[in-house]
Amino acid sequence: MVLDPTKHADWEIAEEAESRMKTVYELGEQLGLKQEELLPYGHYIGKLDYRKIMNRLGDKPDGKYVDVTAISPTPLGEGKSTCAMGLVQGLGKRGKSVVGAIRQPSGGPTMNIKGSAAGGGLAQCIPLTPFSLGLTGDINAIMNAHNLAMVAVTSRMQHESNYSDEILTRRGLKRLDIHPKKVEMGWIMDFCAQSLRNITIGLGGKMDGMTMQSKFAIAVSSEVMAILAIANDLKDMRERMGKIVVGYDRNDRPITTEDLDVAGAMTAWMVEAINPNLMQTLEGQPVIVHAGPFANIAIGQSSVIADRVALKVAGYNVTESGFGADIGFEKFWNLKCRFSGNKPNCAVVVATIRALKCHGGAPIPVPGKPMPEEYGKENVGWVEEGCKNLLHHIKTVKKAGINPVVCINAFYTDTDAEIKAVRRICEAAGARVALSRHWEKGGEGALEFADAVVDACEEPNDFKFLYELDTPLSERIDKIAKEVYGADGVSYSPEAKTKLDRMEADPELKEMGTCMVKTHLSLSHDPTKKGVPTGWTLPIRDILTYKGAGFVVPVAGAISLMPGTASDPAYRRIDVDCETGKVKGVF
């Protein structure tokens, strides 16, 4: 029995479908894997031993590589994960060998407003509860690895303040002289906790640590998560882990985790986490889950390792980039593909009528409150005006040398006239357009979508990066701001300008990738500006250094690395059936 998504919640649909799940070994057999290449976590979830798989299949030709991105979403999301799962199911219905490669959700949005990232309706990744609540422990490993670095730096500062050089030397330590006001790293946790954005630590006596200002960020924004996403193998991860800059000494020399003798132990926490996770869609196609979300404050991509495995074991690998093409696809294009060497065959731009109306003049939805009633009524004018945002994202994808497929992510409230308007405008712009009803009908509803992607994958493209690594950092930021976001230019705070000048003088730093931090709710830095804003300047207020991951991180606008929890969060509706032990209410 398949439940009706118009009458049942996502968790109810997932729970019903979980009675028909394939085992890990059945999924492995479907992918042509050997049993020793599977690392089961129970019956229905497992990890993939990527080293054994790549050692055996490394010379095999890659399958087709498809990235799913979107227009600028509403605060409630744009349905990219739903579209990615729908496309995998649609390709499966067409008899294609296909794997999805998506990111693990963060506990922050799962327990807040946005919910999980499993998809929705009849296009989901299951089992839903473990997917949403920790999975196989990758994010926990990241938190332990990251926070161990903070333990190391705060402990070292305390001991250096309490002991002489002679005592430190006897204990095998060299004085690092870390400046307490220049510890740039903070602590992490996987929830949205605004009260921890700015904290004071070390209160008490001299044995309680050094009193200093500190901070928390959300776990998935950690540089350790970024390293998991772009590492080629464990050796590469270990080398990158040792390059993480925790702060600076009193002479402005960077202090790394290698200086603190903690990089090896940090990597030890990640030995299991580097193996991707294996799950499945509602219709039994394999899904590889690895690395984390938040493309507006992190790289926001599933891992390079996950994609490499997927491209070897299937004819099509459908991956997903966080948020709109200005953020997620830009980082997929200029960071992930640069690190991996893989080039996409197709990119999908997801658009909902709901979000097009938002960009076209409809009242902006407020998280935690009912959708304004205007969104349930036909308004072709709003849709047409909102298509300006869609056309901007189509142009961004085309700048990468790819002709995109626009997926109209349909809901039962959309009207024929609204859908026809989107088709007409996108086709006039030279993009393929496909209507998909995967949310309502699963793979059967995604056949037009699947066919359009298959056709696009057969079309040759001229994939190219927006900038080369020898381009000065200021020029890269300017290029992204103008050509991807549509800004007139860039401005810098005094602090950001000082860091920019230092980085451009450092030959090692100026050749690192550029990972922009910006709101996902607008092409600009201002989340209230919808459509395609004009006449604005991108304000860079800070520039962070992720030496281990291999990029610098310009921060635009007021976005925080620690989101806040809203007044009506999802955790209020999550509970447990104490008779069966099943979790209910996750969405």
Q: How far is it, in rounded angstroms, from Cα 355 to Cα 375? A: 9
Q: Taking 80 as the threshold, does the pLDDT of residue 420 lie above it?
A: yes
60 flagged as catalytic: no
- Residue pLDDT, tens place only, 100-129: 999 999 998 899 987 788 899 999 999 999
For residue 384, what are its two tokens? 């047409």
pLDDT at 295: 79
- Residue pLDDT, tens place only, 520-553: 999 999 999 999 999 999 999 999 999 999 999 9
Give the alpha-carbon dihedral of 63, 121, 409, 308, to 10 degrees: -20
Q: Which of 194, 275, 196, 262 is nearest to 228 (CA)?
A: 275
114 flagged as catalytic: yes
294 band by pLDDT with thresholds 50, 70 and 90: confident
219 flagged as catalytic: no
3-state SS string for 464-500 = CCCCCCCCCHHHHHHHHHHHHHCCCEEEECHHHHHHH
Q: Which of 407, 415, 405 is nearest to 383 (CA)?
A: 415
User: What's phi and psi for 293, nearest 5 deg?
Assistant: -90, -150
Q: Taking 90 as the threshold, does the pLDDT of residue 391 lie above it?
A: yes
Q: Taking 80 as the threshold, does the pLDDT of residue 139 lie above it?
A: yes
DSSP for 318-385, please give it: EEEBSSSIIIIIHHIIIIIHHHH----SEEEEEE-HHHHHHHHTSPPP-TTSPPPGGGGS--HHHHHH
pLDDT at 258: 98
Average pLDDT in the 398-424 region? 95
Q: Which residue has the tokens 């991108």?
A: 538
Instruction: State in Å, rounded, how far the first CA of the chain is from the last one.
Output: 20
**2-11, 29-38, 157-166: which is most confident:** 29-38
297 band by pLDDT with thresholds 50, 70 and 90: confident
Q: Taking 80 as the threshold, does the pLDDT of residue 76 lie above it?
A: no
Does the domain spanning 473-556 belong to CATH 3.30.300.30? no
User: What's phi and psi for 533, nearest 5 deg?
Assistant: -60, 145
pLDDT > 90 in the chain, percent: 82
- For the chain, how many residues are written? 587
The CATH class given to the 138-269 domain equals alpha beta
Q: How far is it, in rounded angstroms, from Cα 490 to Cα 481? A: 7
411 flagged as catalytic: yes
424 three-class SS: helix
Q: Taking 80 as the threshold, does the pLDDT of residue 1 lie above it?
A: no
- Residue pLDDT, tens place only, 549-572: 999 999 998 888 899 998 888 899
pLDDT > 70 in the chain, percent: 99
For residue 566, what are its two tokens? 């809203």
Cis peptide before 127 (omega within 30 of 0): yes
pLDDT at 507: 85
pLDDT at 75: 77
Average pLDDT in the 42-55 region? 98
Neighbours of 316 (CB within 10 A): 26
Extents of the domains making up the chain: 10-136+273-457, 138-269, 473-556
Q: Taking 80 as the threshold, does the pLDDT of residue 367 lie above it?
A: no
| Shared fold status for 10-136+273-457 and 138-269 | no
User: What's phi and psi for 391, nearest 5 deg?
Assistant: -65, -35
Mean pLDDT estimate for the chain: 94
217 flagged as catalytic: no
| Active-site residue, selected from the candidate residues 64, 103, 312, 432 | 103
Q: How far is it, in rounded angstroms, from Cα 258 to Cα 10? A: 45
pLDDT at 21: 97
294 flagged as catalytic: no
pLDDT at 3: 87
pLDDT at 217: 95
- Residue pLDDT, tens place only, 208-235: 988 999 999 999 999 999 999 999 999 9
Q: How far is it, in rounded angstroms, from Cα 309 to Cα 393? A: 29
Q: How far is it, in rounded angstroms, from Cα 10 to Cα 116? A: 10
| Active-site residue, selected from the candidate residues 11, 191, 411, 551 | 411
What topology does CATH give the domain 10-136+273-457?
Rossmann fold (3.40.50)
Comparing 31-35, 296-300, 350-354, the range with the smallest average pLDDT is 296-300
| Active-site residue, selected from the candidate residues 216, 323, 332, 536 | 323
